Amino acid sequence: MNNDFRILYTQFTDTAQRAADLNFASAVLGWDQEVYMPAKGADARGRQLATLTTEAHKILTSEDYGRLLAALVTAAATSEATEDMLANIRLSTLDYEKNKKLPAAFIEELSLLTSQGFNAWVDARGKNDFSVFAPHLEKMVALKRRQAALYGYTTHPYDALLNEYERGANIAMLEPVFELIRKELPLILKKIKGSEQVSDACFKTNFPKENQWDFSIKVLQQMGFDFEAGRQDYSEHPFTTSFSSSDVRITTRVDEHNFASLLWSSIHEGGHGLYEQGLPESQYGLPLGEAASLGIHESQSRLWENCIGRSKEFWHYFYPILQQHFPDSLGNLPEHEFYKACNRIAPSLIRTEADEVTYHFHVLIRYELEKALIEGSLEVKDLRNAWNAAYTKYLGIAPPDDKTGVLQDVHWSHGMFGYFPTYTLGSFYAVQFFEKAKAEIEAFDEHTKSGTFAPLLDWLRTNIHRHGRKYTSEELCTRVTGGGLDPQLFLNYVNRKYGAIYPGQ
C-alpha cells in the first residue's frame, strides 16, 4: 500500500469519524429525549439536535470531503487497498453524492420538526387525540415530499424514501411481496379459524412490573446481550439506538395486565441490540461499521422474537424460570399450553404485539397509507378514517380510539417514511437465515432447549454482523443462504408451525 493512499485514507477516516461523533452525540440526546428528558426540555433539545445533525451533514457534504473521496478513488486504483477499504470508499462516495442533494438548511428544518413532532406525538397519545399530532404530521409529510423531490426518482416519490432504509428497494420490488400477503395469508387465517382457538388469557392476569423487568433481563443475558456494552430502559415506544458497538441502548414498555407487551418488545429489541453489538468496532463511523439495511436489522430482531422466542425449545428452558417469577399467574399452567398461548393467531390492534401471521397486515396497512400520503392521494386530515377503514378491511377490527389506532407508532413523528416495509422484508429474511442456521449448527434444537444461544449468536456474528454495510440485503442473503429473498420459505414455515398448533386447519 503506497504512502499517498495511506495518508488519504487516514484523512478520510478522521473526517468520517468526526461526523460520526456528532451524529452519535445527537443519538444520545435523542435517546434521552425518549427515555428521561423532562417535558419542558423539548424546545432546547430540538435546537441541540438540529445543531449537531446540521454540523455533521456539513462535514459529509463539504467540497473538501468530496475532493478527498475523489482523490481516494484515484489513488486506490494503483494501491494495495484492502477489500474493506475499497468498500468504505465506494459506499461513502455514494453517501456523499446522495447527501449533497439535501441542503444544510433542509437538514436543520427536518431535525427541528422531528423533535417537535415526537413531543407532539407523545402529547397526542397522552390525550388520545390524533388532532393534537395532525398539524405536525402535515408539516412532516410536506417535508418528506420535498426530500423525495430533492433526491430524485424515476417512477414514484416513495421509492426515493425507501432507499433511506433499504438500498435498491422500490415499489416494483415490494408489490409482489405485499401481493403475496394479500392473497396467501388470508387463506392461512381461514384455515386457522376452522380450528379450535388457542387461549392467551394467561398473558392477561397480574404481572408485577419488577418481576417482568427481572425476567426480561434474564432472557437478554441468556441471548448474549452484553450489559457492559448496553442497557435496557423504558420508553413510550420500544426502540434500539447505538452510539458505538460498545454502547447500545434498547427500550421496552410494560403493562402489568398484559405480559406480552414487555416480553416480545424486549426480545425483539434485544435482537436489534445484538446486531449493533456485533458490528466491527474497528469500523466506527465508516460504512462497514453500520448495519447492512433496515431489512437485515429487522431480520435479526424477528429471528430472535419469533423463530427463537416463540419456539417450543425456547420455552422448554425458560418456562420453569418464568413460573418462578409469576407463580400465582402461571404456576399451574402446563408448558404446552403456554407455548400455544405465545403463538395464538388472531387479529389485533397493536402491531408490536401481533402474531407472526397477522403482523404483516399491520405492515401492509402502514405501507399503503404512507405511500398514499407521499404521492398525495391521501391527506393527513383523512388519515384517521383511512387507518380505521384499512384495519376493518384487512383484519376485521376497528380501533376504538386513536392511541390503539393511528397514534400507536412513533415512526411518522420521526419522518421515517419508507421504514415500515422493512418489517415484512426482515421477517422473511429472518426465516431464511433461521432455516440456514438450523441446517449448519449441530444439535441446534438441543442448544435452544438448554438455553445455550452462543452457537446461534456466533453464526450470526460470522455470517451477518461482521460485514456491516458491505453487501446489499439481497447480496448478503445470497451469500448466506445461496439465494435471494424467497417469501415461499416464510409461508412454508408458517404452515408447518401453525398446522401443528391448529391441527384442524
What pLDDT band is residue 504 in, cutting at 50, 70 and 90? low
* Overall average pLDDT of the 37-52 stretch: 93
Model confidence pLDDT, tens digit, residues 121-159: 999 999 999 999 999 999 999 999 999 999 999 999 999
Inter-residue contact 110 to 30 (CB < 8 Å): no
Model confidence pLDDT, tens digit, residues 387-423: 999 999 999 999 999 999 999 999 999 999 999 999 9
Per-residue confidence (pLDDT) for residue 505, from 0 to 100: 46
Per-residue confidence (pLDDT) for residue 438, from 0 to 100: 98
* Overall average pLDDT of the 449-476 stretch: 97
* Overall average pLDDT of the 314-332 stretch: 96
CB atoms closer than 10 angstroms to residue 157: 21
CA-only gyration radius of the chain, Å: 23
What pLDDT band is residue 68 in, cutting at 50, 70 and 90? very high
SS (H, E, C) 158-192: HHHHHCCCCCCCCHHHHHHHHHHHHHHHHHHHHHH
When the pLDDT of each residue in the chain is averaged and rounded to a whole number, the result is 96
Model confidence pLDDT, tens digit, residues 71-97: 999 998 888 899 999 999 999 999 999
CB atoms closer than 10 angstroms to residue 7: 11
Per-residue confidence (pLDDT) for residue 353, from 0 to 100: 85
Q: Does residue 119 register a pLDDT over 80?
A: yes
Q: Model-level pTM greater than 0.85?
A: yes
Q: Which CATH class is domain 191-354+415-501?
A: mainly alpha
* Overall average pLDDT of the 93-106 stretch: 96
Model confidence pLDDT, tens digit, residues 474-501: 999 999 999 999 999 999 999 999 999 9
Inter-residue contact 357 to 229 (CB < 8 Å): no
Positions marked catalytic: 269
Q: Enumerate the domain spans of the chain.
A: 3-100, 191-354+415-501
Residue 233 backbone dihedrals phi, psi, to 5 degrees: -140, 175
Per-residue confidence (pLDDT) for residue 355, from 0 to 100: 93
Q: 3-class DSSP state for residue 451?
A: coil
